[in-house]
Chain A
Amino acid sequence: MTGVTGPRLAVALDGAGWHPAAWREPEARPAELFTAGYWTELVRQAEDARLDFVTFEDFLSLRTPSESGARTDVTQPRLDAVLIASRVAPLTSHIGLVPTAVVTHTEPFHLSKAIATLDYVSTGRAGVRVQVSGSAEEFRHFGRRTPPAVDDLFDEAADYVEVLRRLWDSWEDDAEIRDVATGRFVDRDKLHYIDFEGRWFSVKGPSITPRPPQGQPLVAALAHNATAYRLAGRQADLVYVTPRDRTGSESILREVRAAETGSPLHVFADLVVFLDESSQTAADRKARLDERHDSESTSDAHVFTGTPAELADLLLDWHATGLSGFRLRPAVLPHDLAAITGGLVPELRGRGAFRTGYEASTLRGLLGLPRPANRYAA
């Protein structure tokens, strides 16, 4: 971000938007949610505005972020987020792609190669948000009956990320040698067993996929409490947090910094946003959507209604507490994404607080993170 000192910006894409009634808005395209074109268009829009990355939500069950249960008036179905990110990757060139993956029921070996492959198909723009699931419904989808204690789920997730990272390093960057004289395609001394043995599972390695372009794709986590800050502090590169105000941001940052055990974490605050030309219009729109949904929609994150200029004020104010950036959750797609890219971004640029062009071609590069050394290299 040459010469730019403002916050970094990501956009969280989810269905027709984060408000459960978003799909009923006039501009919404709910019949296209399961087509590749829908996602490609949104991500390209975010890339045109030079946002750092987009995220894709996911669950291993039918539910919306704010509720579960069988309703026919919400858009619960969804496609696999890693595959959506991969489908979009060849059609974009600079923006980071960070799908969610549930780590409670999936195999770390499979996810490690999937994210490494996302890094290959996007030439260095992959990340993954690791999500723990304690949902009894999701346990039943995998033939499991009793979710363990939450602390155990988070400890298991920490082991899981450790396995992801070791597998990404299990090939040294120059393992492929193609040495015709000796007939060797790889130098086996540069391939490493990871020999992970933990309380819940063990994984031998090496990966079947060579080390990805970024070496270590970005690992992100969403965290609301001390247990989750500890997971992020131990294993993530970036954490999404949910302050309600400036003071909340300060206190969360203190907690997160205390939980850090490795290199410093990027901390992004999540905000649900309703953006319009006047703050009254935005508030009215939220009220109308709530009414349609028959209840006020709630969120784990602060819900902002107002103008792009008011949001810019808030972001710069909170950013001053030490946040790296923000992950904005558009309440309605494409409306609020268009307001972010067409309203907020120019507003921030006008204040010298957002990039005008991409300064790097990898996600780590955009976030100012170095390409990590390989833990197994001599």
Chain B
Amino acid sequence: MTKPLKQIHLAAHFPGVNNTTVWSDPEAGSHIEFDSFVKLAQTAERAKFDFFFLAEGLRLREQNGRIYDLDVVGRPDTFTVLAALAAVTERLGLAGTINSTFNEPFEVARQFASLDHLSAGRAAWNVVTSWDAFTGENFRRGGFLPQDQRYSRAETFMRTTWELFDSWQGGEVLADKSSGRFLATPEAGTFAHHDQHFDIEGRFPVPRSPQGRPVILQAGDSEEGREFAAATADAIFTRHGTLEAGQAFYSDVKGRLAKYGRTERQLVIMPAATYVLADTDAEAHEKAHEVRLAQVSEQTAIKFLEQLWNTDLSAHDPNGPLPAFDPSVGENLISKGRASVRMYRDPVATAREWRALAEAKGLTSRELIIEVTGRQNFIGSPETVANTLNTLVQSDAADGFILVPHVTPGGLDDFATQVVPRLQERGVYREDYTGPTLRHHLGLAD
């Protein structure tokens, strides 16, 4: 008996601050005017995507003690732009990253419950925690948390917002004019939560929203992150886009669900993915190389090297070999506000790997950076991309993908018109939305 075909989930990411958005492309539009967000969201909705996704950053990055100026920078407030997008879309889920470190559970719960009402059940929350005092400097409550308390506070934060969402069960709003009863009970919304992180009580002012609570997205690859996601998330946003890495992550995380009394269908795994399309595979590869060159300018290559070397390399030649000396170890003082810096847990070892790779392949510094920071997942003709993507999903490397265009706002147009119909022909992608809420789109409604 053959396994039934899985249905692919797709989402659109409007990129925030990163070097992969090719702002120098003649097609690149504004990244802050509302029209750009409308354009990408409406493209995603026409293509019947599950949701539109917006990341967040709460402090401008710095390098060498100055604001980083090479990447697209400047972005809107997550809640506000998602509420506005709810006005110009009808079915598309609206997902936003909201940091649990620099917010209070009462306020975030109130905003998400409001967004879920105002979008008629399309809100999703990508829960993140912040890790640095650098970001904390923008907030009145300032402080940050040691790494070992991040997940504990995040978990408690989530549990607390849950209690707030659940303080209304639904049905309390009678609005019965003749009897004069607006609420069924004077206790609607009553909550009390007391623990080491949050000591709050009172009444929550938003009646139960269409989805009850927003869909929960979770990123994070650490042991704690995987466990947290298995316990609480509806969907995971990951980086594992290749077959082997994807399958390993997929089986690991889905394997953790049972102990929380959950089934595999209750967690949708969606790696972030980029793509380059052209008429033929060969042309697509050529185009992909041009995109990489635009994403990693000579100046950007130097900045990437500095992040690993933790040293000012402004005099280094990007078209020559890698620096011959080892990175400076210890606290990274050169780069601030950049999560990826933490991934280099052993900078000296990484630098040696890079040097070996560059020597083996004869790469310049810039070419090496292009090689090691490459994240183009799908390159080829629409036919090839549709096949590759479908193969990954059918072989349980993922349930779908969050597509990150390298040009905004028109960067998903070709995917929507050329790849989506091919997936539909294969019977692995919806022809239309089957339910009103994001939970329906993700298959989580029941």
Contacts and interface: CB of A to CB of B under 8 A. Distances in A.
10 contacts: A72-B186, A77-B205, A80-B115, A80-B206, A90-B84, A120-B76, A138-B202, A143-B198, A186-B69, A188-B66
A36 B87 contact: yes
Interface size class of chain A, counting residues whose CB lies under 8 Å from the partner chain: 35 or more
Q: Per DSSP, are chain B's interface residues mostly helix, strand or loop, or mixed? A: loop
Given A30-B177, A83-B111, A113-B76, A108 B140 contact: yes
Nearest to B178: A24
Given A61-B203, A141-B106, A208-B60, A107 B139 contact: yes
A203 interface: yes
B5 interface: no
A187 interface: yes
Contact of A36 (B77, B120, B181): B120
A23 interface: yes
Most-contacted residue by chain A among B23, B114, B181, B198 (CB, 10 A): B114
Contacts of B185: 72
B38 A90 contact: yes
Contact of B118 (A83, A114, A138): A83
B149 interface: no
A117 B76 contact: yes
Nearest to B294: A180
A292 B201 CA distance: 32
Interface of A: 21, 23-26, 28, 30-31, 33-36, 40, 59-62, 70-80, 82-84, 86-91, 105-110, 113-114, 116-118, 120-121, 123, 137-138, 140-143, 171, 175-176, 178, 180, 182-188, 191, 200-206, 208-210, 292
Given A70-B203, A72-B184, A184-B299, 15 more contacts: A23-B177, A30-B175, A36-B120, A72-B185, A76-B183, A77-B206, A86-B80, A105-B107, A120-B81, A140-B201, A184-B69, A185-B71, A185-B73, A191-B67, A209-B74
B104 A142 contact: yes
Contacts of B183: 72, 76-77
Nearest to B57: A208
Contact of B87 (A80, A87, A185): A87
A78 B118 CA distance: 12
B202 A75 contact: no
Contacts of B119: 36
A34 B207 CA distance: 8
A183 B83 CA distance: 34
Q: Which of A25, A40, A120, A201 has the most CB of B within 10 A?
A: A120
Given A183-B297, A188-B67, A118 B180 contact: no
Contacts of B72: 185
Nearest to B58: A208
Contacts of A180: 24
Nearest to A121: B84
A35 B141 CA distance: 33
A146 B188 CA distance: 25
Given A77-B207, A185-B23, A188-B66, A120 B182 contact: no
A60 B110 contact: yes
A103 to B, nearest CB: 10
A114 B115 CA distance: 14
A113 B140 contact: no
Contacts of B180: 21, 24, 73, 292
A75 B198 contact: no
Nearest to B189: A62
B86 interface: yes
B375 interface: no
B107 A106 contact: yes
B33 interface: yes
Nearest to B138: A109
Given A83-B118, A116-B77, A185-B71, A109 B139 contact: yes
A44 B31 CA distance: 28
Contact of B106 (A87, A142, A182, A188): A142
A291 to B, nearest CB: 11
A143 B138 contact: no
Contacts of B34: 90, 120-121, 123
A74 B207 CA distance: 14
Interface string B85-102: 011100000000000001
A89 B114 CA distance: 16
Question: What are the 7 closest A-B residue pairs judged by CB atoms, nearest first?
Answer: A201-B140, A183-B299, A121-B84, A70-B186, A117-B80, A30-B175, A80-B114
Given A23-B182, A86-B80, A187-B69, A77 B200 contact: no
Nearest to B111: A80
B77 A209 contact: yes
Query: Among A105, A118, A142, A171, which residue has the most Cβ atoms of chain B within 10 A?
Result: A142
B74 A210 contact: yes
A142 B298 contact: no
Most buried by B among A107, A121, A171: A121
B300 interface: yes
Contact of A185 (B69, B103, B205): B69
